[in-house]
A and B are shown apart, each in its own frame.
Chain A
Amino acid sequence: MSSLFDILSVMILLSSFVLMANKRIKSYIKTFRIQSLLIAIVAGILGIQLIINEGRVDVLIVCIIIVLLKVIYIPNLLRRTYLGVEHRVEKDFIWNIPILVLICCGLVVFIYFSITAIEGISEDISTIQLVNSVSVVLIGLFFMISRKKAIGLIIGFLELENGIFVTAMFATDGMPFIVDLGIFIDMLTAVMIMGVMVFRISDKFDTINIDELNKLKG
């Protein structure tokens, strides 16, 4: 089973690279959907395993919630948001895409060295899964830095959240159920609030370019 998880972790990492290389909001959403689906598969396999081995149902419920929330609801919410704000393609990055992607590669290397430097970490969990999932977190963060449109930032945040979630899955077989639920509620609220904020920003500033949000200084 562990090698299956290895592959899924690589796929999730790959999806975050694909996300980084995208520049259309539509494909952001599509890639995010695929990434979430992969995470749902991880949760599903883990859930079934846990039901068989320990009789724990919670991870399977979590899997269902992921499908409903991250694969179906949030992408649709984002799609509505992006249809509402007259903005389709990301044009101005801090650097061009190949360089961004190469930097992400560097991030993975960095994570690899930092995680393998910690003594005793590989006793607990598969290093490959940990490195890949923590890299997704960092790439999500970098995605937020590299994008200048508000929707891009939301996607980056969601990717980061995905990375953290999948880290939890790989590292600890999921958090305690109530914590998982709370995370979902928080995340959903956060995304909804951010969506509303995007509309308001688009209203007040006539753009969703966050570079325009530079009035407050010092």
Chain B
Amino acid sequence: MSLLLLIIPLIAVLLFIFIKKDYLLHAVSISALGLQVLLAAFLTKDVVVFGKVESAFFYLDSLSIIILDIVLLISFFVAVYSIQYLKEDLRPGALDLKKVKLYYILMHLFIFTMVLALVVKNMGIMWIAIEATTLASVFLVGFDNDKFSLEAAWKYIIICSVGIAIAMLGIILLHLSSIGLLENSGFLDWVALMENAESLKSASVRLAFIFILVGFGTKAGLAPMHTWLPDAHSQAPSPISALLSGVLLNSAMYGIIRMTAIVNKSLGSSIYAGRLLMALGILSIVTAAFFILTQRDLKRLLAYSSIEHMGIVAVAIGFFTPLSIYGGLLHMINHSFTKSMLFLSSGTLIQKYGTKNIAKIKGVIRLLPFSGIAFLLGLFAIAGMPPFSIFASEFGILISVFEEGSYFIGGALAILFAIIFAGIGVAMFRIFYGKGEEKDIEPGENNIPGAVVIIILLVIIAITGLFMPETILDLVYDAQSVISGI
């Protein structure tokens, strides 16, 4: 089943190469992702029933299935959104079929690599897949092919390649720590590593964790390795930003979580990994808070907010109590949905206004009745307002931190959340109020399927904030026990 999940996007890519009509391109893209979502649903059922799906090469447990579901659902929404977005975006010039083709090919490769990273058993192959996500998405970041996007793409590939290469060093050391312990086939196998975690050589494991944290942390956008993220997110086409922020960061974070589980089990305590994760996490939140306060660019604002939320997840994983992991995983889910919704609606906004400057975007509600309102509510959500889901998980993490007795960190987090709330609030009011020159812009939604997607996502985050389905909670709880081993 996992194999099928990987074959579908590849078939789609092959089809894209030979298709000559643009509506066929859209259709293939949608149906491929629809099929993948269906498959993921079946796999989820399997995982819920059996606890895990394992074969020689693939391994899916509740942790990976959660992130896999996020990846595929959001990719599906993004694909739906992309149809009209591409038409809009290419309207100024003639609709260039070649570019649309390239977009779809790279997007599906990108999704393929992320799925690969999630379903494989072998940490080495997971590394390869995460490196490949960079390679697949770099031309998507530079899709506009102007000076800005080129710069963003160059920074993206250089910083991420180097970061990931450093993670490779960590993988090598992990491999080293298990030599003599595992059979040939079990090399770098996450399950085998986890089973034998106690007898891994702790010196190598410690060193490996640092390298892997720095490497995958680069990809996950943790400060101080985050510098590529705002550029890439702001310059990529908005659907791609939604994928980068909502999905890619999670895949990288997934690698860190897997590694943290091994390290903590191997060292017998969470102090070593926890401190490192918390330090990076809090640094990310601080950096993000600072830049959010002074931000003038809509998409960069959202990008820094992604850094902040990845920081929160890192802190939550760092604490490594059942409650904090639980909160962290929920937070990953919630952040993905909220942030991709925000990026998609910001795409609509930007296409409407032709600028990313917050100061020039006025009277959103009149011009874009659905996406505009969704965007503003989304900003509320991402800032951590109830009743949206982000609030619930953030609050859960805060409680878990206070329960551990870390009043200082808890207090600091609370203050930072408040600062970020204020920063996003200021941006929001700038967009809400004030009258700009809006005469030459036609009111009304251009991207109808996009608006529908955005509304669906909005409904999801609003509902899950109030009431999370039992099944998902159980799944997250399972994932938590997979990580913490409790």
A interface list, Cβ under 8 A from B: 118-121, 124-125, 134, 137, 141, 144, 150, 153, 157, 160-161, 164, 167-168, 171-172, 175-176, 178-179, 182-183, 185-186, 189-190, 193-194, 197, 200-201, 204-205, 210, 213-216, 218
Contacts and interface: CB of A to CB of B under 8 A. Distances in A.
Contacts of A121: 203-204, 207
A210 to B, nearest CB: 7
A186 B158 contact: no
Contacts of B157: 190, 193-194, 197
B235 A216 contact: yes
- Give the dominant DSSP class at B's interface: helix
Given A121-B204, A216-B231, A204 B138 contact: no
Contacts of A185: 128
A193 B139 contact: yes
Contacts of A178: 122, 124-125
A59 to B, nearest CB: 13
Nearest to B135: A189
A160 B162 contact: yes
B162 A179 contact: no
Given A157-B158, A197-B153, 15 more contacts: A121-B203, A124-B176, A124-B201, A137-B165, A153-B158, A172-B179, A182-B124, A182-B125, A186-B128, A190-B134, A194-B158, A213-B151, A213-B155, A218-B296, A218-B297
Nearest to B132: A186
A175 B124 contact: yes
B152 interface: yes
A216 B148 contact: yes
Contacts of A182: 124-125, 127-128
Contacts of A144: 158, 162
A136 to B, nearest CB: 11
Contacts of B202: 120
Contacts, number: 135
Contacts of B218: none
B401 interface: no
A179 B128 contact: yes
A205 B147 contact: yes
- Give the dominant DSSP class at A's interface: helix
A164 B171 CA distance: 10
A119 B203 contact: yes
Contacts of B484: none
A64 B175 CA distance: 23
A160 B201 CA distance: 25
Contacts of B162: 141, 144, 157, 160
Interface in B266-298: 291, 294-297
B291 A218 contact: yes
A212 to B, nearest CB: 9
A96 to B, nearest CB: 24
Interface residues of B, number: 55
Contacts of A125: 176
B204 A124 contact: yes
A215 B124 contact: no
B394 interface: no
B290 to A, nearest CB: 10
A182 B172 CA distance: 14
B342 interface: no
B161 A190 contact: yes
Interface in B131-158: 131-132, 134-135, 138-139, 142, 145-148, 150-155, 157-158
14 contacts: A119-B203, A160-B162, A164-B165, A178-B124, A190-B161, A193-B138, A193-B139, A205-B150, A213-B154, A215-B147, A215-B151, A216-B151, A216-B230, A218-B296
B234 A216 contact: yes
Contacts of B134: 190
Interface of B: 122, 124-125, 127-128, 131-132, 134-135, 138-139, 142, 145-148, 150-155, 157-158, 161-162, 165-166, 168-169, 171-173, 175-176, 179, 184, 187-188, 201-204, 206-207, 230-231, 234-235, 291, 294-297, 300
Nearest to A160: B165
Contacts of B184: 176
Contact of A204 (B146, B152, B166): B146
B188 A204 contact: no
A111 B264 CA distance: 25
Contact of A134 (B132, B153, B169, B201): B169
A186 B135 CA distance: 8
Contact of A157 (B127, B142, B165): B165
A182 B300 CA distance: 33
Contacts of A210: 154
B146 A183 contact: no
Nearest to B291: A218
B201 A201 contact: no
A97 to B, nearest CB: 22
B125 A171 contact: no
B187 A124 contact: no
A168 B172 contact: yes
Nearest to B177: A124
B193 to A, nearest CB: 13
Contacts of A204: 146-147, 150
Contacts of B206: 118
A164 B172 contact: yes
B131 A186 contact: yes
- For the complex of A and B, 8 pairs with smallest distance between CB atoms: A179-B124, A182-B128, A213-B151, A120-B203, A216-B231, A186-B131, A118-B203, A168-B172
Contact of A179 (B122, B203, B295): B122
A193 B158 CA distance: 11
A3 to B, nearest CB: 21
